[in-house]
Amino acid sequence: MGIKYLFSLLMMMVVFLKHLLSSRHCTKRWMDTSKSSWTQSLLESSDGDGAWCPAEPVFPAEAEYLQVDLRRLHLVALVGTQGRHAGGLGKEFSPGYRLRYSRDGHRWMSWKDRWGQEVISGNEDPGGVVLKDLGPPLVARLVRFYPRADRLMSVCLRVELYGCLWKDGLLSYTAPEGQTMYLSEAIHLNDSTYDGYSVSGLQYGGLGQLTDGVLGLDDFRRSRELRVWPGYDYVGWANASFPHGYVEMEFEFDRLRAFRAMQVHCNNMHRQGVRLPGGVDCRFKRGLASGWEEEAVRHTLAGGLGDPSARAVAVPLGGRVARFLQCRFFFAGPWLLFSEIAFLSDIVNGSSLVESSPPSDGSAPPAPGPAPTNFSNLEAEPRGQQPVPKAEGSPTAILIGCLVAIILLLLLVIALMLWRQHWRRLLGKVGIPRVHLCEVESPQDLLNLEFPLNILRSDATKNARNDFLKEVKIMSRLKDPNIIRLLGVCVQDDPLCMITDYMENGDLNQFLSAHQLEDKAVAGGPGPGGAAQGPTISYPMLLHVAAQIASGMRYLATLNFVHRDLATRNCLVGEHFTIKIADFGMSRNLYAGDYYRVQGRAVLPIRWMAWECILMGKFTTASDVWAFGVTLWEVLTLCRAQPFGQLTDEQVIENAGEFFRDQGRQVYLSRPPTCPLALYELILRCWSREPEERPLFPQLHRCLAEDALNMV
């Protein structure tokens, strides 16, 4: 098995174990639509012949869906998809899909990730299995898959759902909308994943971050989730906004329950004005039409001025029987911050189920009563055809022990495979210099260079040769005065080589940082030796340098070629300030600080990347324009500082989120001292939130070239 498959299996087990150990005691179950039953096998363990295929094309409309009826509320945390491969004969798969879900069979919600995106990327081939962690998870009885494609193509779908029974039975909670706290930065304490309604500052009819299983950190300004804003883990309210001194919340459950306790995970960072509630009052009612019972349960808390760590506060409810709870949380300080609310309750026998309302297809509802301990034959059918239940059961302690042992074994296998690959790469580089300076005797023989596809050695490493050939193919197409030229390639003998232009002044970053601005040198007077210290460069020449970069990028744009890593470090300087754009991997060792490592794997130049590249992985010519704006800022500052040098990598990612939200809190690079206001306004247009509002490279080149010419 490959590392990719082992890693996917490991992540699946980690998610399983995470939910198993959570307060909700989830047990993993998955559903395979090719077999229409709960199964212990993975998608790719079967022959892949059976699958659901829409009757009509899914492009451009997405009308048909595959509906899974779980018969009871479940917490769904992970989704697996696969096409129909049929042992190599099938070719149908879905490149993407959307999810809709319902808790009662009447109201349907669209699943969205933490940044509001609905479309989930699917499969790239019929045989591969793609696992997607649903962040946030969804609570539902019915789940619909809407396959989608960006062109006319055959689409088939096989799915697996990973999750557990929703034992809390909570259908919805009603609460005031979360507020924003202003410290050194804005802390957004809103319930951003709430799937209900919001009217006049009140959220009702849904579930959100207070039931997603994620407990907030001790410091509410930080978050457990990647690429989200400060305060994301918490929902919070200010005392000053509530004249009665309390926050009132209502909770609706699936059936009549006897409530033993309520657990509220609260922040207690009292030095920032956040404290535990001073007390809680809860009232109860058994039905929607009945009134609230007069006798309330009251519980007084200490307020927590000691230990500032976040904690779960237990509120005993005395076994009161109800379907609806109304709780008032009294302020003991300026702010209340909650990250999770859970209930300990027992189902009252004979109570009616909300899930027992007739499904949309008119089939009979399940009989009321306690939850069954076993399922059998749970099916998934398109458009809501009626399934029959099934599941497996095993002792939790044994299951956890087995999972931990398997995870440790997989980690060991993956570590050994990575170690082996690491040494193979090192041994492959032994004795191979990085760069040679050479002289071509007959350059005229290189004018009709053709890419030699037929002379590759058969024993070359597949990945290394593929990367080499890909780079040669790209460079062989590029013929522009401001793009580095490919003069020749060597593929007959190891090491594989390519011959390019020699740019004697190195990369633009080091070149400019060794200079000082001519006007500044004159104003400062001569140095101790009677002359200016170090080489100088004029402002018109900086514009000429920038215009050449814009010219090269204009050429790349005509080929629909996206550079993805435009920066001064990837521009080379030749004679007479000639600039040529390049992109060599060897520059990343010298400029390792400019790249952000994603979870120990990929490295990204996030300080040069547009917000849509960081958050959505979307690279276009418009995102290259964004990077050009940062590169122009580097040129005008003579590369004296790193872009956003005052921000950490994590803060740069958070700033990308501010561009996405577009609420006026995003941070821009400041105007360089040598930059006229008109030119800075042009740079700011390169950083427009909407890609279509950014200038094009022909316009950028024309403006810079004209300015440089006018100043000569």
**176 is a domain residue:** yes
Length of the chain: 712
Residues 229 and 295 both lie in one domain: yes
pLDDT digits (tens, 9 = 90+) for 623-653: 999 999 999 999 999 999 999 999 998 899 9
Where do we find the tokens 């239940």? 389
Sign of the torsion formed by the C-alpha atoms of 682, 687, 689 and 691:
positive
Residues 214 and 157 both lie in one domain: no
Please give the pLDDT value at position 51: 85
- Looking at the predicted structure, is the pLDDT value of residue 590 above 80? no
- Looking at the predicted structure, is the pLDDT value of residue 359 above 50? no
Q: Supply 236's token pair.
A: 């919070």
Strand partners, 101: 109, 143
Q: What's the mean pLDDT in 275-286?
A: 94
Question: Annotated catalytic, 565?
Answer: yes
Helices (H) and strands (E) in the chain, counts: 12, 28
Out of 365-369, 503-507, 595-599, 602-606, which region has the weakest mean confidence (pLDDT)? 365-369
Residues 316 and 451 both lie in one domain: no
Residues 160 and 180 both lie in one domain: no
Q: Supply 42's token pair.
A: 């993975």
Last residue of a domain, one of 289, 324, 347: 347
Where do we find the tokens 């579930």? 207
Alpha carbon distance 194, 208 (integer Å)? 4
At residue 111 the predicted structure's pLDDT band, cuts being 50, 70 and 90, is very high
Please give the pLDDT value at position 145: 94
Q: What's the mean pLDDT in 561-587?
A: 83
Please give the pLDDT value at position 492: 64
Alpha carbon distance 140, 103 (integer Å)? 5
Where do we find the tokens 């490149």? 95
At residue 523 the predicted structure's pLDDT band, cuts being 50, 70 and 90, is very low
Q: What's the mean pLDDT in 234-244?
A: 95
Give percent of the chain with pLDDT exceeding 90.
Answer: 42
Please give the pLDDT value at position 361: 40
Do 345 and 257 touch, CB atoms closer than 8 A?
A: yes
Please give the pLDDT value at position 187: 92
Residues 643 and 563 both lie in one domain: yes
Report the domain count for the chain: 4
pLDDT digits (tens, 9 = 90+) for 658-693: 999 888 899 999 999 989 999 999 999 999 999 999
For the domain that residue 548 is a member of, what is the CATH number?
Answer: 1.10.510.10
Count CA atoms closer than 13 A to 346's CA, side-chain side: 8
At residue 387 the predicted structure's pLDDT band, cuts being 50, 70 and 90, is very low
Please give the pLDDT value at position 370: 32
Please give the pLDDT value at position 69: 92
Residues 454 and 573 both lie in one domain: no
Please give the pLDDT value at position 358: 38
Nearest CA-CA partner of 703 in 526, 517, 543: 543
At residue 593 the predicted structure's pLDDT band, cuts being 50, 70 and 90, is low
Report strand pairing: 235-238 vs 335-347. antiparallel
**25 is a domain residue:** yes
Alpha carbon distance 339, 698 (integer Å)? 50
Please give the pLDDT value at position 11: 63
At residue 133 the predicted structure's pLDDT band, cuts being 50, 70 and 90, is confident
Give percent of the chain with pLDDT exceeding 70.
Answer: 73
Please give the pLDDT value at position 468: 66
Out of 170-174, 187-191, 268-272, 424-428, which region has the weakest mean confidence (pLDDT)? 424-428
Q: What is the distance between the terminal CA atoms of the chain, rounded to a whole angstrom?
A: 64
Nearest CA-CA partner of 554 in 361, 700, 401: 700
**9 is a domain residue:** no
DSSP state of 670: P
How many of the other CB atoms lie within 10 Å of CB of 10? 18
SS3 265: strand
Please give the pLDDT value at position 218: 92
Q: What's the mean pLDDT in 372-398?
A: 39
Strand partners, 346: 258
Alpha carbon distance 677, 671 (integer Å)? 8
Please give the pLDDT value at position 224: 75
At residue 99 the predicted structure's pLDDT band, cuts being 50, 70 and 90, is very high
Please give the pLDDT value at position 55: 83
Alpha carbon distance 188, 88 (integer Å)? 50
Angle between helices 697-711 and 539-558 (to 10 degrees): 160
Q: What's the mean pLDDT in 127-149?
A: 90
pLDDT digits (tens, 9 = 90+) for 201-232: 999 999 999 998 889 999 999 887 767 788 88
For the domain that residue 493 is a member of, what is the CATH number?
Answer: 3.30.200.20
Q: What's the mean pLDDT in 407-416?
A: 83
Do 480 and 555 touch, CB atoms closer than 8 A?
A: yes
Residues 121 and 203 both lie in one domain: no
SS3 555: helix
Q: What's the mean pLDDT in 52-62?
A: 83
Q: Supply 541's token pair.
A: 């020449």
**422 is a domain residue:** no
Domain interval for residue 575: 503-519+535-710
In terms of pLDDT, which residue wins out, 568 or 601?
568
Residues 498 and 554 both lie in one domain: no
**359 is a domain residue:** no
In the chain, the amino acid numbered 626 is: W
For the domain that residue 242 is a member of, what is the CATH number?
Answer: 2.60.120.1190
**268 is a domain residue:** yes
Alpha carbon distance 529, 531 (integer Å)? 6
Please give the pLDDT value at position 636: 95
Out of 32, 69, 565, 624, the active site residue is: 565
**529 is a domain residue:** no
Residues 86 and 195 both lie in one domain: no
How many of the other CB atoms lie within 10 Å of CB of 379? 18
Out of 51-60, 63-72, 503-512, which region has the weakest mean confidence (pLDDT)? 51-60
Burial code of 279-291, b = ≥16 C-beta within 10 A, e = fewer?
Answer: bbbbbbbbeeeee
Which helix H or strand E contains 164, and what residues bound it?
strand 158-165
**121 is a domain residue:** yes
In terms of pLDDT, which residue wins out, 624 or 127?
624
Do 68 and 196 touch, CB atoms closer than 8 A?
A: no
Nearest CA-CA partner of 494 in 549, 559, 546, 428: 428
Nearest CA-CA partner of 115 in 540, 661, 482: 661
pLDDT digits (tens, 9 = 90+) for 295-346: 999 999 866 677 899 999 999 999 999 999 999 999 999 999 999 999 999 9
Strand boundaries in 275-422, DSSP class E: 279-285, 297-300, 311-330, 335-347, 380-382
How many of the other CB atoms lie within 10 Å of CB of 598? 11
Residues 560 and 685 both lie in one domain: yes
Please give the pLDDT value at position 286: 92
Residues 295 and 315 both lie in one domain: yes
Last residue of a domain, one of 113, 142, 167: 167
Please give the pLDDT value at position 554: 94
Nearest CA-CA partner of 704 in 634, 632, 642: 632
Count CA atoms closer than 13 A to 653's CA, side-chain side: 20
Last residue of a domain, one of 122, 144, 167: 167
Residues 318 and 192 both lie in one domain: yes
Please give the pLDDT value at position 22: 44
Burial code of 665-689, b = ≥16 C-beta within 10 A, e = fewer?
Answer: ebeebebbeebeeebbebbeebbbe
Alpha carbon distance 410, 7 (integer Å)? 8
Please give the pLDDT value at position 247: 96
Considering the entire predicted model, what is its pTM?
0.48
Please give the pLDDT value at position 184: 84
